[in-house]
Structure 1
Amino acid sequence: MDQSTAEWANEVLKTSLRSGERTLVISDAVSALADNPGREIPIDPKKLEYLRRLIAYILDGREIAATYNYVLLVALAVFTALHWWPRFRDARRRRTFAESHANTSAANLQKRSRLAGCLEYSRGDTCGEDAPSSSSSSTLAGAQSPGRHPKITDIDLERQPLLGRDSTHAATTPISSLSRVVESWLMYQPRPIPVINRSLPSNGTSLVVLAYICVNIFFNFYQGSLKPEYSFAFTDRAGYVFIVNLPLLYLLAAKNQPFKFLTGYSYEALNIFHRRVGELMCFEAVVHFVGMLLWNLVFTPDWLRVGDLQYFMTRRLTLLGLGAFISYESLYFTSLGTFRQRWYELFLASHVFLQVAALVFLYLHFWTARPYVLASLAIFLADRIIWRLGLKSTSVCADLDILEDGNTLRLSADWDIPRRNRRVLCGFFRQNITHGWHPMDHVFITVKSLGRTHALQAHPFTIASAAPGTESDPEGPPNHAWLSLLIRAHDGFTTDLLQHARLKSTVDVRIDGPYGSVDALEMLQIRDTAVLIAGGSGIAVVFPLLWALVHSEDYYSYGREIHLLWVIHSRSHRSWMPQERLDELEKAGVHITIPEPTAEAGRPNVDAYIEAQASQAREKGLEMGLVVSGPDNLNRTARNACARAVGRGTDIQLRIEKFGW
């Protein structure tokens, strides 16, 4: 077959695909392409029919893949409804419960007044002048002492659930039993994969990931052909599935994204999905690259072949595609857990560079990718420049204190929170740490004085101090913020910062943040029993939550019961949390349990501890909330203990607060 026929066929194929017309008549394409009126045109009906079918398969695949993000929007709407409907329901139940208790308290107050009048008439005593009172002060500046809240004694709140349910057990029905079994299974976390020792998420998370993979498999194969002679269409669709996933990948990676508001999960909780999306995209890239090689080496009909392998590999289109392929595959390998743990600084630097390079190569590689590349680039730049460098960043002078174990330091700073401006637009610019934060928030810190290498790096740490609120009343005194970060020295940045702390007690720090979610706090606030478990430095996550709970306005009104279990490795780790803070929590009614250090007594039976709390809640018909922050083994133990408790009928909500990288 002469070369002119192959060139003609490829021109027809290229023109048809660019036009997007599935029914393009071949002769029309020829008349549009032919520069020489006397040019010979192949008229073999079989070849023309083959071209028509190939073009149809390719365009069908692109049209189908283009609807992919509509499916994602529907899924997002479902998750948004699942998040917001319980919040509206709980808020309504909570208001009803508060109103009923307010009415009961008013009636009891009238009864006490009448009783006091009777006693005064019969005994001649005055009522209330010698009544005992209690108050306590907190050593935490800017926080209200829990002892200053009046306690309602007219109602036995220990016997009444927070949301007004009857303490008697609801009748067990087949549907409720099945619901408990399903919920328990979804909450359960399997053991790590043997040999490679890779941790698995909960069954519920795995199910969502599996559904995502199935959707992508559908878009790869629906109305396609697996015949070798049409493998170009399958390979092209794999590339298209790659690019339609691109905006999702960058949305999940962004520190400032809409999923937090819509679903209640901040970016660190969604990080596992970011990784799975990236892995699937890398697999699609492999399919696209290998498929194109096989098409040009094996499956291309002889009459359609133009040039040899060297010609194919040196084309501009192929070279740009190779650049994008290598960039994204390098992103995948440098994002693996073993690489991140050993070379975290290199991971940070390469991640930014490779992302930018990959987007540039992909934009130039093929015109169909450009809208998705531009959308992804807009997400990336908005997150990095507008929010992280502009709205979320500030610099402070912080104090450094080396703690008792000699390997942990506390970075702290304090300031007055600026007064709230009444202008509407001013709230948009009040997003950095100087305007306050919420419990369990975290920040990224950069210390330029440690050297050029660290000047471009930002490292995450959870805020270990109580949240001061996010605004100061313009009429009253300003709130004072006390920021404290617990930093354990490992390699790289943390070791260099520890060495700096041995020489100097202060350091200039650029802080990017705060970031996080109040989902766990809001969950605990509507539960009768709150149980918080911290493993080691996980106390930095748990303590702000505890402080917010005991200082909430409804803490004493609702009679919420709060328990803390803090598992430490050595006695020196007790210095991570000042004893006076723990004493204040105990005075506020928090039941604190700190077992003997695991280095001396081994690991405590966390499973039995959770089961005891769950059994008590189940017997009283109470709703229980559990928040856990610690190592993977502790998190898995707590999750599975909750799963078993749910299977036995306990109404329990669980939040695992583990920061993933």
Structure 2
Amino acid sequence: MGEPDPFRGDNPFYGPDGDEIIDRVLAGRSVATVYGLALLSVLGIVTVHHWVSRLFNLRWSRKSSRIDKIRGFLISRSPKSEVNRGMSITLLLYTAATFAALFYGACYHPVVLAFRMGIVAVVNTALLYVLGAKHSPLTLLTGWTYENLNVLHRISGALTVLATIIHTVIFLVYYRLDYIVTHSWTMAGVIAGFLYILIGFSSSKRMRATAYEIFYAIHLAGSFISIPAVFFHYPTARPFALVAGAAFAYDRAVRILLDYRLVQCTSRIAPGDTVIVQLSPKTSWPRPFTWAKGQHVFITIIGCGTFESHPFTIASSPNASETMDLIIRAREGFSKRFYDQAVQAGDGAIFKAIIHGPYGVEDIHMPGKQNTLPQHTQPPTETSPLLPVAHDYRPLQKTKVLLISGGAGVAFTYPFYQEFHNNPQFDVQFLWVVPHRSFCEWICVDDKMNVWETREQGRPNVEEMTISFAGNGPCWVAACGPDPLLRAVQNGVAKLISDGHDVHLHIEAFGW
């Protein structure tokens, strides 16, 4: 006897439209190939642009008001958007291309649609794992940070889950249940589909904020199991599963071999249900750790969520502090448990911790980076050499640095203040928005800082303050904090750029 027919009713491949259905199923592979090549082409363009800009650092003296207005528009944010308009357009184009690949010519028959959903989902699976890796080759190629890639990772994941749901439901309707449970390739598909859907629904913003431990466990275990399930589900999926597996294995191997360290940390209780954790490189095993300003680490406190790993921004500069400081504010789950444990132990309590990291890429426009344009003390004259045409003439002046944070977002901006505020090359403005001044015990506050107490002063007009300070002369703006604050900073910088001002913006917003 031959292989039993998997379909509940008549096999659509043997029906009157069988040839057309087969042709459209096979055409789906060509569509998926074009879709994958299109994504690679976009990646190639971004890579070339990044490295040409970085290696040659060309910035032409002739200003273009039209380009400035476009840049300003792309940096600005609409009232309800979580990302700027440039990223919104990128996500919209990616989503449109994915929908075209999913549905173009595939709605002829449900089985054709199911096959199309499957092949596009596995193409995105490879992309999904590369985007989600801490040690992703895309960071080196494009200069995008993990946080930038994570936005694309979440959208790619949502589209993959959507395709997986449609793919799974159609085949569950058309295939006989006894066939599904007695064949390894169909069961592999069921397992992969179930895990993808579970990962997708557990990755909601609310779940990440309120039950990070559950989200992380499902994400890690589901990612580990789903790759071999996809590989054994169907031969067409195997190359993409191998790419996903390679990205996952490389990322985890580098973390284990290079990133993980056992370290001793000291806790200090601070106002606002907060613990300041200080980690000394001297106590790190098997090797000391180093970090750069603006980076973050994942930490596990042994005895308080030993199997949990949570991200925190490093709140100290390596050039101004002997310890790596973390600000952990009690919310729910791990942070609340650790706060209660630290309060019970008292100030100066010592804990054992496991850290991995640090992660994060420095902004190439950051003051002090090698790509900063040279500043000249005098304009070119008949007796002095001509300036290179790729550079602007600028009189000798201080570079402005505007650091804006809200609440625990100060963990990101404070290390920059530590390094820049005593440097005569920089004119630094530091704005920290907090509920009340007792929060100042988190860091060493001095008279040069603008600490804005919302209970006494109300909410500041951050957009107007950004425009006021950053509008005269070259300025680097860095911000971290609640979403309304970041939106105000982005829109303020967008207006300045649209008017032709030389302003660079770095926003730190985490989406874990």
Please tell me whether residue 529 in structure 1 is matched to residue 400 in structure 2: yes
Out of 212, 218, 224, the position equivalent to 1:344 is: 212
Please name the residue that 1:627 is paired with.
478
Q: Is the 8 A contact 1:393 1:433 kept in 2?
A: no
Please name the residue that 1:642 is paired with.
493
Out of 358, 363, 377, the position equivalent to 1:514 is: 358
Q: Distance in 2 between matches of 1:371 and 1:86?
A: 33
Per-residue CA deviation, residues 531-581 of structure 1 (Å, 9 max, x unaligned), is 111112211111212333457xxx54xx432221111111111111113xx
* Counterparts of residues 308-457 of structure 1 (less than 5 Å): 309-311=176-178, 314=181, 316=183, 317-384=185-252, 386-403=253-270, 405=271, 407-415=273-281, 434-450=288-304, 454-457=305-308
Please name the residue that 2:391 is paired with.
none
Per-residue CA deviation, residues 205-255 of structure 1 (Å, 9 max, x unaligned), is 011111111222332345x35333xx4233212100000111111111111
> Given the superposition, is the C-alpha separation of residues 407 and 240 from structure 1 closer, same or farther in structure 2, using an over 3 Å criterion?
same
> Given the superposition, is the C-alpha separation of residues 8 and 347 from structure 1 closer, same or farther in structure 2, using an over 3 Å criterion?
closer
Q: Is the 8 A contact 1:401 1:411 kept in 2?
A: yes
Please name the residue that 1:214 is paired with.
96
Please tell me whether residue 593 in structure 1 is matched to residue 481 in structure 2: no
> Given the superposition, is the C-alpha separation of residues 550 and 84 from structure 1 closer, same or farther in structure 2, using an over 3 Å criterion?
farther
Paired AA for residue 90 in structure 2: V
Q: Distance in 2 between matches of 1:499 and 1:189?
A: 38
Q: Is the 8 A contact 1:531 1:627 kept in 2?
A: yes
Out of 270, 276, 287, the position equivalent to 2:155 is: 276
> Given the superposition, is the C-alpha separation of residues 263 and 523 from structure 1 closer, same or farther in structure 2, using an over 3 Å criterion?
farther
Residue 599 of structure 1: how far off its partner (Å): 1.8
CA-based RMSD of the aligned residues comes to 3.2
> Given the superposition, is the C-alpha separation of residues 89 and 546 from structure 1 closer, same or farther in structure 2, using an over 3 Å criterion?
farther
Q: Is the 8 A contact 1:465 1:540 kept in 2?
A: yes
Residue 413 of structure 1: how far off its partner (Å): 2.6
* Counterparts of residues 104-503 of structure 1 (less than 5 Å): 176-192=64-80, 199-222=81-104, 224=105, 226-228=107-109, 231-293=110-172, 296=174, 309-311=176-178, 314=181, 316=183, 317-384=185-252, 386-403=253-270, 405=271, 407-415=273-281, 434-450=288-304, 454-468=305-319, 481-503=322-344
Paired AA for residue 573 in structure 1: F
Q: Is the 8 A contact 1:520 1:655 kept in 2?
A: no
> Given the superposition, is the C-alpha separation of residues 568 and 624 from structure 1 closer, same or farther in structure 2, using an over 3 Å criterion?
same
Q: Is the 8 A contact 1:83 1:264 kept in 2?
A: yes
> Given the superposition, is the C-alpha separation of residues 502 and 7 from structure 1 closer, same or farther in structure 2, using an over 3 Å criterion?
closer
Q: Is the 8 A contact 1:269 1:659 kept in 2?
A: no
Q: Distance in 2 between matches of 1:571 and 1:342?
A: 27
Per-residue CA deviation, residues 77-122 of structure 1 (Å, 9 max, x unaligned), is 21123323333344x77xxxxxxxxxxxxxxxxxxxxxxxxxxxxx
SS at match of 1:638: helix
Q: Distance in 2 between matches of 1:5 and 1:575?
A: 73
Q: Is the 8 A contact 2:260 2:355 kept in 1?
A: yes
Q: Distance in 1 between matches of 2:365 and 2:69?
A: 26
Out of 549, 566, 574, the position equivalent to 2:432 is: 566
Paired AA for residue 79 in structure 1: V
Q: Distance in 2 between matches of 1:410 and 1:400?
A: 6
Q: TM-score, normalised by structure 2?
A: 0.85
Q: Distance in 1 between matches of 2:312 and 2:364?
A: 18
Residue 611 of structure 1: how far off its partner (Å): 1.6
Please name the residue that 2:504 is paired with.
653
SS at match of 2:323: strand
Q: Distance in 2 between matches of 1:342 and 1:277?
A: 23
Paired AA for residue 483 in structure 1: M
SS at match of 1:395: strand
> Given the superposition, is the C-alpha separation of residues 225 and 507 from structure 1 closer, same or farther in structure 2, using an over 3 Å criterion?
closer
Sequence identity percentage: 30
SS at match of 1:446: strand
Please name the residue that 1:157 is paired with.
none
Paired AA for residue 182 in structure 1: I
Per-residue CA deviation, residues 442-501 of structure 1 (Å, 9 max, x unaligned), is 111111222xxx1111111111111249xxxxxxxxxx8421111111122112222222
Residue 62 of structure 1: how far off its partner (Å): 1.2
Q: Distance in 1 between matches of 2:272 and 2:403?
A: 27
Paired AA for residue 178 in structure 1: R
Larger gyration radius, structure 1 or structure 2: 1
Q: Distance in 2 between matches of 1:247 and 1:416?
A: 40
> Given the superposition, is the C-alpha separation of residues 79 and 539 from structure 1 closer, same or farther in structure 2, using an over 3 Å criterion?
same
Q: Is the 8 A contact 2:405 2:433 kept in 1?
A: yes
Residue 276 of structure 1: how far off its partner (Å): 0.1
SS at match of 1:402: strand
> Given the superposition, is the C-alpha separation of residues 184 and 289 from structure 1 closer, same or farther in structure 2, using an over 3 Å criterion?
same
Paired AA for residue 463 in structure 2: D
Q: Is the 8 A contact 2:479 2:489 kept in 1?
A: yes
Please name the residue that 2:32 is paired with.
65
> Given the superposition, is the C-alpha separation of residues 508 and 310 from structure 1 closer, same or farther in structure 2, using an over 3 Å criterion?
closer
Please name the residue that 1:115 is paired with.
none
Please tell me whether residue 613 in structure 1 is matched to residue 481 in structure 2: no
Out of 526, 529, 547, the position equivalent to 2:418 is: 547
Residue 394 of structure 1: how far off its partner (Å): 0.8
> Given the superposition, is the C-alpha separation of residues 562 and 406 from structure 1 closer, same or farther in structure 2, using an over 3 Å criterion?
closer
SS at match of 1:464: coil
SS at match of 1:449: coil
The 4+ residue runs of structure 1 with deviation greater than 4 A are 3-10, 308-315
Q: Distance in 1 between matches of 2:177 and 2:279?
A: 62
Q: Distance in 1 between matches of 2:159 and 2:296?
A: 29
> Given the superposition, is the C-alpha separation of residues 370 and 8 from structure 1 closer, same or farther in structure 2, using an over 3 Å criterion?
closer
- Of Structure 1 and Structure 2, which has the larger fraction of its residues in helix? 1
Q: Is the 8 A contact 1:269 1:660 kept in 2?
A: no
Q: Distance in 2 between matches of 1:72 and 1:349?
A: 30
Paired AA for residue 49 in structure 2: L
Q: Distance in 1 between matches of 2:123 and 2:141?
A: 21
SS at match of 2:308: coil
Q: Is the 8 A contact 1:409 1:488 kept in 2?
A: yes
SS at match of 1:522: coil
Residue 360 of structure 1: how far off its partner (Å): 3.4
Per-residue CA deviation, residues 285-313 of structure 1 (Å, 9 max, x unaligned), is 1222233356x3xxxxxxxxxxx854555
Q: Distance in 2 between matches of 1:449 and 1:4?
A: 58
Paired AA for residue 534 in structure 1: S
SS at match of 2:366: helix
Paired AA for residue 339 in structure 2: L
Paired AA for residue 542 in structure 1: T
Per-residue CA deviation, residues 61-82 of structure 1 (Å, 9 max, x unaligned), is 1133134333222211211233
Per-residue CA deviation, residues 612-658 of structure 1 (Å, 9 max, x unaligned), is 1243x1xxxx3222111111010011111112222222222211111
